[in-house]
């Protein structure tokens, strides 16, 4: 058995679904299924019972799960020991980042970091805030960068930058009704949003709460999996969205999107790490880099 097989086994066990686990790990469903089958074949033990589209742990799988977790944790500790023993900033660093950060904020910063530390290999995965939090919790990511709230008290969280949010519609969209000057009526709009667990969806939920509006009464017309898809749908006139200025700024500047004035609070871009895991020198170096002025990179 290999560490990768164990990692996939744990992810499937925790989610009781191969496809969901594959999405979480950013691998294909067929790769996840093949890894589980190979693990079962090599051990001669059935680890899962297949129940419709879902899976559930067999009795042997339930006994094996804590052992698999323990092995993965020991591998992580061993890697950290070796990387720290050299007293040089080297080794691998796994980063999970939510979409806006990963696509618009992080690349320039990682490029600048690698100029200073060329011996560090960076591996970046993308998910929404909840997926990033889960990856840091289960050790599949060393560090996370998120826009939304995190829930676990096992995480350290520190702000590395702030993000401005915009309410935008297509340039040809009719004027938005106002409840009062500068206060658009969000109930009158058709909304295009990201999925549950995303930071921008959370912003609209908070806005509705502050305005005394039940979120589930809003007209959510489309739910799309990426910021870029949302921008295209809004440009096409399908509805309105709340989105980062980093994502929509160019479209607003060229006139394909129109910014509707709305007082939205800035949100944090936050770095998260696990409280109980000893950081490697590479992790410490990246944290220091992000905190010591990397926010000036544009």
Per residue in 155-172, pLDDT (tens digit) is 999 999 999 999 999 999
Residue that finishes a domain, picked among 31, 49, 82: 82
Residue that finishes a domain, picked among 82, 106, 121: 82
- Average pLDDT rounded to a whole number, residues 258-277: 93
**Helix extents (H) in 155-266:** 199-210, 227-235, 245-254
Write down the pTM of the prediction: 0.70
Cα separation, 201 vs 224, in Å, equals 11
Same domain, 14 and 44: yes
Model pLDDT for residues 80-113, shown as the tens digit of each residue: 667 666 566 778 899 999 999 999 999 999 999 9
Same domain, 99 and 156: yes
Residue that finishes a domain, picked among 51, 82, 113: 82
Give the Cα-Cα-Cα angle 78, 84, 85 (nearest 5 degrees): 90
Cα separation, 81 vs 217, in Å, equals 53
Give the confidence band of 148 by pLDDT, cuts at 50, 70, 90: confident
Q: 274 lies in which domain range?
A: 93-160+268-296
């Amino acid at each position: 058995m290999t560490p990768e097989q164990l990692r996939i086994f744990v992810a499937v066990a925790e989610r009781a679904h191969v496809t969901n686990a594959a999405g979480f790990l950013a691998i294909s469903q067929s790769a996840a299924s093949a890894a589980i089958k190979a693990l079962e074949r090599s051990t001669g033990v059935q680890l899962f019972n297949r129940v419709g589209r879902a899976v559930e742990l067999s009795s042997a799988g339930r006994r094996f799960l804590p052992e698999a977790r323990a092995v993965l944790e020991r591998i992580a500790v061993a890697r950290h020991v070796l990387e720290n023993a050299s007293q040089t900033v080297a080794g691998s660093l796994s980063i999970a980042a939510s979409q806006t950060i990963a696509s618009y904020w992080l690349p320039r910063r990682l490029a600048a970091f690698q100029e200073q530390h060329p011996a560090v290999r960076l591996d970046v995965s993308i998910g929404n805030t909840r997926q990033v939090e889960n990856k840091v919790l289960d050790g599949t990511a060393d560090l996370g960068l998120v826009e939304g709230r995190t829930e676990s008290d096992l995480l350290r969280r520190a702000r590395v930058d702030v993000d401005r949010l915009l309410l935008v519609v297509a340039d040809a969209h009719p004027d938005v009704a106002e409840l009062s000057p500068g206060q658009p009526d969000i109930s009158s709009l058709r909304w295009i949003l990201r999925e549950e667990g995303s930071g921008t969806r959370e912003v609209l939920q908070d806005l509705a709460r502050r305005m005394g509006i039940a979120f589930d009464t809003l007209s959510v017309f489309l739910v799309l999996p990426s910021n870029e898809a949302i921008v295209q749908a809004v440009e096409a006139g399908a509805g309105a969205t709340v989105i980062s200025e980093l994502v929509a700024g160019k479209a607003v500047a060229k006139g394909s999107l129109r910014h509707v004035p709305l007082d939205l609070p800035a949100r944090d871009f936050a770095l998260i790490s696990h409280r109980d895991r000893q950081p490697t020198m590479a992790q410490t170096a990246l944290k220091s880099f992000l905190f010591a002025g990397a926010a000036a990179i544009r």
